Amino acid sequence: MSKVVNVDAVTKTYGKKGEKQYQALKGVDFSVETGEFVAIMGASGSGKTTLLNILSTLDKPTTGNVFINNRDINTLKANEMADFRSKEIGFIFQDFNLLENLTNRENIALPLSLQGVSSSKIDKLVDQIAKKLDIENILNKYPAEISGGQKQRVASARALVHEPAILLGDEPTGALDSKSATELLETMKTLNERDKVSILMVTHDPYSASYVQRILFIKDGKIGKELKREDKTREEFYQDIIAELGRN
């Protein structure tokens, strides 16, 4: 199987030489296979946000290499980085990040509009992803007119409409009630299994993590334990996660 993400000996140090420095990442190694659904779990200050910022090209590692879709993102120049990010990476934020003055259709279309895709093709792609996420009936509404769960589905559609190599989620269920969170997780699971969407999700929530195939635990800037779901039920995997968190 091919790797959509490959992280090799990545470190991240904040602070200038000669001053007090803080090492957020201490030699992180892992990969995500194409079509895999992976979670990264860790306490506050463990390095998971720093790692996500590097994977999303919003920050650069101090040392080490990150390959996304076989491209070494460290070698990209600023203008290339923005183009790469807009084509290869989809991002779901905890707080939706929708533009309130645009309709949901316009919000979803935004990544394609910025790439200069023709309006006829944009309409077709937006309709396709809206159907997959069951939000066709709210496309012409504004974000203020829909529920939190629907907002996150619109945000998910925006992240997926350009068919990125990897979908990154930053606590995507964090602002949702339990029913909306479950609906979003079921949708992500379906997208992964049916459409082979590669997903890497950062979460502190064991319930959310129980939907993935594999969990990487990060602690003090290093990837430690790895937990695989294999043939367990989601409930059995959830209990394994609880037990692992208890040991840490």
pLDDT bracket for residue 20 (50, 70, 90) = confident
CA nearest neighbour of 147 among 104, 105, 192: 104
Domain ranges of the chain: 34-60+76-247
Residues forming a β-bridge with 3: 33
Number of Cβ within a 10 Å radius of residue 61: 22
Q: Is 58 helix (H, G, I), strand (E, B) or coil?
A: coil
Number of Cβ within a 10 Å radius of residue 157: 25
The predicted-structure confidence for 170-224, as pLDDT tens digits, reads as follows: 999 988 899 999 999 999 999 999 999 999 999 999 999 999 999 999 999 999 8
pTM: 0.92
What does DSSP say about strands 199-202 and 37-41: parallel, antiparallel, or unpaired?
Answer: parallel
Tell how far CA 52 is from the center of its chain: 8
| Sign for the pseudo-dihedral over CA of 71, 115, 167, 133 | negative
Question: What is the full DSSP assignment across 189-246?
Answer: HHHHHHH---EEEE-S-HHHHTTSSEEEEEETTEEEEEEE-TT--HHHHHHHHHHHHH
Phi, psi of 108 (to 5 degrees): -65, -35
Q: What is the mean pLDDT of residues 144-161?
A: 94
Distance, in Å, from the CA atom of 79 to the CA atom of 203, rounded to the nearest integer, reads 30
Q: What is the pLDDT of residue 1?
A: 65
* CATH class as words, domain 34-60+76-247: alpha beta
pLDDT, averaged across the chain: 93
Q: What is the mean pLDDT of residues 148-172?
A: 93
The predicted-structure confidence for 220-248, as pLDDT tens digits, reads as follows: 999 989 999 999 999 999 999 999 998 87
Q: What is the mean pLDDT of residues 137-160?
A: 95
CA nearest neighbour of 5 among 72, 49, 84, 69: 69
